[in-house]
Structure 1
């Protein structure tokens, strides 16, 4: 899904658009399997009771509530979280009802680094840490292929023709 062009400034283009890594969904999928398994098991147990229809309705409602809160909400949160690098800025957006976002102009970024542990390396993701002038470092967790994103962002920061350093050495 591409980032909407009408939200970009004139001449700005999207270089990279990512959602968090799929590892963020492992626990919600596990919850989904467990809830469905327990729901089927409980439905089989109550089928011979005299009030089986009422028990099935209660089990179905309980399973629906659990699936919504344990699977659907995290899935929507994952799907509506965006990490975007454009030719002018780095953007992070998340949320459906309470939408939050942050924009960091490339000219304000002073350093970019990444971290990933063993599990992150196995599944191919990590944490991207961006330091900008006069702010604490911003950490973006579960970025897929974080090393490539780090390299791309580093290149964008250093090749940005709008930064103050490029005007000093004569490039425009």
Structure 2
């Protein structure tokens, strides 16, 4: 039971009896950990400052502990957030305490856009935007996906292999 709290266990969401298998499982890009790591470093500075400023040690302790808790929660949230491409669908599992699953069958994907801000181009991440026939869907934007070009090609290849789009080079 505790294992589910520390591992997103995407395999349990697969339709294995239908022949579904994972093609790509994507954790959040490392850039999402920068702020939590900076918060941990800042908390250390507050703990060291307790020695130099003994009059306000309690306040510095509380600030340091709050930063540590915030950073630990954010790191755990990033670890539990997974984007998965299978041979049948794409889905996202996220949530540290309450888990949320959003899924979209390959047949519903009309368009995949990849947005890469300047920092994303430099560090190798991007944001996926899925368009489908449905107005409201639970899986529209996936942020901070590492190596987005390769992952976009993977999704396009799966859609093509499933026969959901016609091959332009060899029309039927």
Taking structure 1 as the reference length, what is the TM-score of the superposition? 0.80
Other structure's SS at 1:112 match: strand
Counterpart position of 2:146: 144
2: CA distance between counterparts of 1:4 and 1:20?
14
Query: Does 2:47 match 1:39?
Result: yes
Give the deviation of 1:98 after TM superposition.
2.2
Q: How many aligned positions are there?
A: 158
Query: Does 2:68 match 1:67?
Result: yes
Matches within 5 A, 1:97-108: 97-108=97-108
2: CA distance between counterparts of 1:97 and 1:113?
30
Query: Does 2:109 match 1:109?
Result: yes
Counterpart position of 1:22: 30
Other structure's SS at 2:53 match: helix
Over 3 Å counting, the alpha-carbon distance change for 1:4 and 1:24 in structure 2 is closer
Other structure's SS at 2:127 match: strand
Structure 1 stretches lacking a partner, 5+ long:
50-54
Structure 2 stretches lacking a partner, 5+ long:
1-6
2: CA distance between counterparts of 1:41 and 1:16?
45
Give the deviation of 1:165 after TM superposition.
7.0
Give the deviation of 1:134 after TM superposition.
2.4
Counterpart position of 1:52: none
2: CA distance between counterparts of 1:90 and 1:104?
5
Counterpart position of 1:5: 11
Larger radius of gyration: 1
Over 3 Å counting, the alpha-carbon distance change for 1:155 and 1:164 in structure 2 is closer
